[in-house]
Amino acid sequence: MAVSGSGTSQHAIWPYRMMDEDGGDMKVWNIAAISSIAIPFTVLIGIAFAQQDRFTLRAPNGVAFSEFRGYETWPDVAVSQTADGIKAILANPVMINAYKVGIPGNGQPFPDGSMIVKIEWSKKKNPLSPYFVEVPDTLKSVSFIEKDSSRFPDTHGWGYAQFL
């Protein structure tokens, strides 16, 4: 097997051309070229597995992470800042509709299927802002609350879970 390159002392441009035993050309790919394809693919696979793993989590009372799939797109109900964190409360469409008809102020209970997600992050100063502003940093916890009267009769129909 013979290798042909630029023939200069400078680094050759990859891929090198290699000759097989019959004199035909064989391409040998640069490790950087292979890495540029393999690493992003590996990262995507890792993200997919990480996503899959979180959806297998279940609290002892039965509240499962998978029941809240898609919560990232739910609207904000409230956002707050504490001394050491930033919090957001999101609600599913069932809960949002209940708020719109006046629950709980009208004395009616929240309907089964109502769900809330509470997300808390540590905070940091925004390095890009010309003035002092704090933004979310590291995820601290995700808490779920769901209304299902038949599954959670001992807690007035509410199931709770916190994942750290």
Average pLDDT value for residue range 105-129: 89
Please state the domain extents for the chain. 2-54, 66-163
Contact 86, 120 (CB under 8 A): yes
Backbone torsions φ then ψ of 48, nearest 5 degrees: -60, -45
CATH level 3 topology of 66-163: Chalcone isomerase (3.50.70)
pLDDT at 23: 58
pLDDT at 19: 52
Reported as a single tens digit per residue, the pLDDT across 57-112 is 776 677 777 778 888 888 988 888 888 888 888 899 999 999 999 988 999 999 99
Residue 45 pLDDT more than 90? no
pLDDT at 80: 85
Residue with the bigger pLDDT between 12 and 65: it is: 65
CA-CA distance, 64 to 151, in Å (whole number)? 12
pLDDT at 129: 84
Q: What is the pTM of this model?
A: 0.62
**What band does 37 get if pLDDT is binned at 50, 70 and 90?**
low
CA-CA distance, 116 to 159, in Å (whole number)? 10
